[in-house]
Chains A and B, each alone.
Chain A
Amino acid sequence: MAFDLGFTADQTTIADLFNGFFTNESPAEVARAAEPLGFNANLWQKALGLGVAGMAVPEQHGGGGASLSDAVIVAEAVGASIAPIPVVEHIVAARAHPITDLVEGNVIGTVALTPAVDGTWSYVPAGAIADIVIGVDGNEVVAVRSSAPGVAPRNHACQPLAHRSSRHGDRTVLGNVSSFERIVAEWNTLTAAALVGIAQRSLDIVVQYVKERHQFGVPVGSFQAVQHGLADLPGLIDGSRILTHKAAWASQPEVAQVVEPEFNEYTDFKVVSSMAFLFAGETAVHATDRSLHFHGGYGFSEEYDIQMYYRRARGWRLIAGDPRNEYVALADKMFGDN
Chain B
Amino acid sequence: MDFALSPDAVAYRNLVRTIIADTVTNEAIDEIHRTGTFDLPALNFALAKHGLLERAVPGMGKGDPIELWILFNELEKAGAPYDGIAVSLMIAGVVNAVGTEEQKQRIIPSIVTGEAGVCMGYSEPDYGSDVASIVTRAVRDGDSWIINGAKMWTTMAHVAKWLILLTRTDPDLPKHRGLTMFILPMDTPGITVKPVHTMASEHTNATWYDDVTVGDEAVLGEVNGGWRTMTVALAFERGVMGGTNQGVPLLTHFTKWAQHVGLAQDPAVKVEMAKAAIDMHVSTLLTQRAAWIAASGGLPGLEGSMAKLFATEAYQREARALQHVAAQPGLLGFHEDGAAAEGFIDYDARHSPVTTIYGGTSEIQRNNIAERHLGLPRNR
Contact = CB atoms under 8 A, between A and B. Distances in A.
A332 interface: yes
Interface in B255-303: 255, 259, 264-265, 267, 270-271, 273-275, 277-278, 280-286, 288-289, 292, 303
Interface string A310-338: 00000000000000100110111011001
Interface stretch (B131-139, B146-154, B163-171, B366-374): B366-374
A253 interface: no
Interface string A129-149: 000000000000000000000
Contact of A7 (B1, B366, B373): B1
A279 interface: yes
A246 B379 CA distance: 37
A90 to B, nearest CB: 24
A332 B267 CA distance: 10
Contact of A238 (B77, B286, B376): B286
A230 B373 CA distance: 11
A202 to B, nearest CB: 13
Report which residue of A1, A224, A231 has the largest number of chain B beta carbons within 10 angstroms of its beta carbon. A231
Interface string B65-80: 0100000010001000
Contacts of B375: 207, 211
B306 interface: yes
Given A211-B376, A222-B378, A224-B379, A3 B264 contact: no
A290 to B, nearest CB: 12
A232 B281 CA distance: 17
Interface footprint category on A: 35 or more
Interface in B296-320: 303, 306-307, 309-310, 313
A81 interface: no
A239 B367 CA distance: 19
Classify the secondary structure of B's interface with A: helix
A266 interface: yes
Interface residues of B, number: 56
Contact of B273 (A239, A266, A331): A331
A3 B377 contact: no
B248 A264 contact: yes
A63 interface: no
Interface in A1-35: 1-7
B281 A230 contact: no
Contact of A327 (B270, B281, B309): B270
B249 to A, nearest CB: 8
A261 B292 contact: no
Given A266-B281, A275-B281, A242 B286 contact: yes
Given A239-B282, A275-B281, A2 B4 contact: yes
A9 to B, nearest CB: 14
A236 B310 contact: yes
Contact of A338 (B264, B284, B313): B264
A222 B273 CA distance: 38
A230 B278 contact: no
Given A230-B370, A264-B281, A328 B274 contact: yes
A245 B288 CA distance: 14
Given A239-B282, A264-B77, A264-B248, A234 B373 contact: yes
B251 interface: yes
Given A222-B376, A239-B310, A242-B285, A3 B2 contact: yes
A185 interface: no
A291 B241 CA distance: 33
A263 B13 CA distance: 11
Given A3-B2, A7-B1, A239 B286 contact: yes
A242 B284 CA distance: 11
B285 A279 contact: no
Contact of A267 (B3, B310, B365, B367): B3
A278 interface: yes
Contact of B309 (A232, A240, A275, A278): A232
21 contacts: A1-B4, A2-B6, A3-B3, A218-B377, A221-B376, A222-B376, A226-B376, A227-B366, A227-B376, A230-B376, A239-B283, A239-B285, A239-B286, A242-B285, A243-B281, A246-B1, A249-B2, A262-B77, A263-B248, A334-B277, A338-B259
